[in-house]
Structure 1
C-alpha cells in the first residue's frame, strides 16, 4: 500500500514509524486530532505477517491483574466501537471471557479483585458451575474456580489493522510501505532516512514493535526488552459446534507459577473451520526479529498438550496448524509510552508484552497526546522510560 510520494522534499508534522496495530492506531488518532501532515512508514508490505499484529483474532477484555488497564479498557471498548462505525465493518465478536485456574493462583485472584474494585460486571463461578455452563467442552478440578466477564471477546486482528490504515488514509494521512529505516537524525526537525528516500518531520513516533529496541539503541536508549518468538496453535474440535464463538468463550487459564503451563489462553473457532486456538503465553524463545525463523526453537506443543488433555473435552491433542508471532516483552510486562530523555520530539510506544492489541486505540490516543503536547488522559507513571536504566552516549 502506497498512498504518497517518496520525495524527500516534503516535510511532515509527524512521522509514525511502524504500521502494526499501535502505529496504525496512532496515525489514525493523529489525523482525528489535529496532527497536521502525518506520514506512516512501514518497512515491510502493508498487513505483513512478520511482526505482532497479524492473524485473525485477539482476545479483548477488561479483566486484568492491574487496575489501570481496566480503566484504559473502558475507553478502548468505546473507541473500538467508534472505529467499527467509521469503518462500516465489524471488528469485535461478543464471545465473553472465561478466566479459570486453581483458587491458589495469585494472578487469578488479582484479576478477580481488580474486577470487583473497578465495578466491572462479572460472575464468579465454582469449578462445578463452569462445567455446568460448558459441559461438553471443559473439565476443571474441584480446587479450581472461574470468573466470567460478559464483555470479553474477540477482535479481528488483521481486519482491525486494515481498517485503521484505511481510515487514516481517508482522513488525509499518507502511508508508505516497503521503507526500511537506515538512519534517524534527531533535532528540531527530525530526519528519517530509509532505503527509499529521506523524510523530515517536527515529531517522530516510534511504534516499531520487535524492531523498536534496535532503533532506540541507535538513539542512545537501551531498552531492557526481550524480542521473543512464540507459536500460535490451532487444535481440531471433534464437535465444532461446541466450540463455535456463539457457544464457547475466549479464555485465559492462570495456574500456579511452578506449573509449566501457568498461563494458557485461547479463542473459540473463528479463524480456521473446526479449529480452536489454544496457546502458551509465557516462556518464549528470544530471537533476532530479522531472523525469526532462521532456527526453530523449542516447540510449545509439549507444554500446551497436557493442558488440553487435562481441561478440554472433544479436542484432539496434536495441533493441526502452527503459526509464528513475536512479542516484545518488558521486565514488568508494561509498555513504554514516553518521550526520548534527550529529544522530547521523539516519542516511543514499545514493549507491549503480548497484551497490547486490545489497548491500541487508547495507546494511539496517548501517543498522539505526547506528540501534540496535550494533557495526558491517563497517569503515565507505569509506562515511563525512567523506570528502567537507560544509557546515553556522551555525544549523539
Structure 2
C-alpha cells in the first residue's frame, strides 16, 4: 500500500468522514483516513441517533449557511439512497420577560434576513397545535419552523465513510496520529501545489506523507496542533442526554411531535421518538470540564432527575420511565465558532473544528474543507471561521462557551 497521499484526513467522525467523501467526490482518490478507534465508536461526538437541524440560529454567520447545509444533505441522500435527515418541524419556546425572548428575537431576525419562513405562536396557538406542551405561565412566545428536524448522525457518518470508500478512499481504523510534521518536499510531493513542503503524519506503526493534512480530531485536536503553534485551547466538557419512554407513545412519534428548544434560565432541547422507544432531551453546556483521558463517561443521576423533572413539568405525558442516560464530549473553541482554515504558518495543514454544534452542518463542513484542500478557497462565506481571528490568538479575550441564544 502507498505511504504518500494527496490528502490525509485525521479523524473519521462526522466532519472527517464528510471531508473524505467530498474529497473523493471532487476527484481525489489517493486519500487516507486515520481513525484511532473503530468506525462508529462512542468515544467522541458522532454517535447516537440525533442532531438537531434548523434554520433558527443566533448569528447570521451561521444563518447564511443553513440553506446550503440542507442542500448538502439532500445531495448525500440522492447519491447514497440513504435517509439521514428526518423532518419534524421545530419549536423554539420562551416565557415573556425572560432572557429567552431575546434569543427568539435573534433567531427570527436571522431567519428573516435569509428569507426563511417561520410562524410565531402565542400560548393558545401553541396549545392547539402541540397539546403535548403544558405551560402554566400566561405569556408564552414560540416560533415554529417547518423545515427543522434532525440528522441521524450515526447513519450520516457511516454513509459518508461508505461512499468515500466506494470511491477509493482508504480508511485505517485503530491507527492514531501521534504527530504532524511539516517537512521539506520530496519527489513524492513535487508538483502538487504545496510549494516546497510536504507533511508527515506519525502513527505508532508507520509514517505517512501527504501533500495536505486535514485535522478533524475534535477533542484530540490540541495534542496534534500545539506542536505546530496552535494559539488557542480546545475546552472539552462532558454533556449528558436521557431517553425517557412516554406514558403515551403516539403523541410523541416523529410524525406528531417536533424537535424543540426551550430558552429559559437553562437551555433545554429534545426530540420525538426515534432510534429508541423514548423521547430524548438534554440541557445545553453543563460546563463539566474534562479531558478525554479523565472523563468517566458515567451519567450523573442528579442530571437525569433534573431532566425528568423538566418533562414532568412541561411535557407530562412524556415523563415516563427513564430508558437510558449517556454522556458525550463537547469540544469547544474559545468563542464557540467553527474553525475552517489553513493552520497559520502551515499552509498544507487544514483545521476543521465544529465547536460542539456542527452536527447539523457536518456534511457542508466536509464540502468546505474539501474545497479548501482542492481549490485553496471555498465558495461559502467562511471568513468568520479563520484560525487567526482575535478570539483564537489573543489570550486576553475571555472564552465564551454559550451560543448567545
Q: Displacement of 1:150 after TM fit? A: 0.5
* Gap change, CA 1:163 and 1:296, over 3 Å in 2: closer
How big is the shift at 1:296? 6.6
Q: Which residue of 1 aligns with 2:233?
A: 224
User: Residues 309 and 61 of structure 1: is their aligned pair in 2 closer, same or farther, counting only changes over 3 Å?
Assistant: same
Q: How far is the alpha carbon of 1:298 from its aligned partner?
A: 8.0
Query: Which SS does the other structure have where 1:309 is aligned?
Result: helix
**Equivalent residue number for residue 177 of structure 2:** 181
Deviates more, 1:41-50 or 1:114-123: 114-123
Indicate if the aligned counterparts of 1:335 and 1:383 stay in contact, CA closer than 8 A: yes
Query: In 2, distance between residues paired with 1:298 and 1:313?
Result: 20
Counterparts of 2:381 and 2:86, CA distance in 1 = 30
Q: Matched residue of 2:107: which SS? A: helix
Is contact 1:40–1:176 with CA below 8 Å preserved after alignment?
yes
Match of 1:276 in 2: 279
Q: 2:132 aligns with which of 120, 133, 136?
A: 136
How far off is 1:209 after superposition?
A: 0.9
Instruction: Give distance in 1, aligned partners of 2:200 and 2:315.
Output: 54
* Structure 1 residue 301 corresponds to structure 2 residue 328: no
Q: Is the 8 A contact 2:246 2:320 kept in 1?
A: no
Measured against aligned partners, the alpha-carbon deviations of 1:57-100 in whole angstroms (never above 9, x if no partner) come to 21111111111212211011111111112111111111111111
Contact map agreement 1:103 1:109 (CA 8 A) in 2: no
* Rounded Cα–Cα distance in structure 1 between residues aligned with 2:381 and 2:62: 11
Partner SS for 2:75: helix
CA RMSD of aligned residues (A): 1.9
SS of residue matched to 2:317: coil
Q: Hey, what does 2:379 align to over in structure 1?
A: 377
The answer to whether the Cα contact below 8 Å between 2:21 and 2:161 also exists between their aligned partners in 1 is yes
Displacement of 1:344: 0.8
- Distance in 2 between residues matched to 1:124 and 1:237, nearest whole Å: 27
Counterpart residue number, 1:366: 368
Residue 27, structure 1, aligned to residue 20, structure 2? yes
Q: Is the 8 A contact 2:29 2:167 kept in 1?
A: no
SS in 2 for 1:382: helix
Superposition pairs of residues 29-178 of structure 1, within 5 angstroms:
29-104=22-97, 105=100, 106-139=102-135, 141-178=137-174
Aligned positions, number? 377
Work out the CA distance in 2 between the residues paired with 1:377 and 1:239. Answer: 47
Q: Given that residues 18 and 43 in structure 1 are in contact (C-alpha distance below 8 angstroms), is that contact kept between their aligned partners in structure 2?
A: yes
Change (3 A) 1:24 1:142: same
Q: Separation in 1 of the partners of 2:267 and 2:246?
A: 21
Cα 1:390/1:115, change in 2 over 3 Å: closer
1:190 equivalent in structure 2: 199
Q: Is the 8 A contact 2:246 2:321 kept in 1?
A: no
CA contact (8 A) 2:244 2:318 kept: yes
Superposition deviation, residue 165 in structure 1: 0.3
Q: 1:51 to 1:172 in 2, by over 3 A?
A: same
- 8 A contact 2:60–2:110 mirrored in 1: yes
Partner of 1:201: 210
Q: Which blocks of at least 5 consecutive residues in structure 1 are unaligned? A: 392-396
Partners of 2:171 and 2:134 lie apart in 1 by 45
- 4+ residue runs over 4 A deviation: 294-299
1:287 deviates by: 1.1
CA-CA distance at 1:37 after TM superposition: 1.4
Give 1:224 deviation, angstroms.
Answer: 2.8
Query: Within 1, Cα distance between the matches of 2:75 and 2:280?
Result: 27
Separation in structure 1 between the aligned mates of residue 307 and residue 299 of structure 2, nearest angstrom: 18
- Once the two structures are TM-superposed, the CA of residue 10 in structure 1 deviates from its matched residue by 2.5
- Separation in structure 2 between the aligned mates of residue 159 and residue 383 of structure 1, nearest angstrom: 27
Q: Are 2:271 and 1:267 aligned?
A: yes
Q: Which whole-Å deviations, capped at 9, do the CAs of 1:273-321 have from their partners, x for residues lacking one?
A: 1x11011112231111133217776853354344323311212276331
How high is the TM-score relative to the length of structure 2?
Answer: 0.88
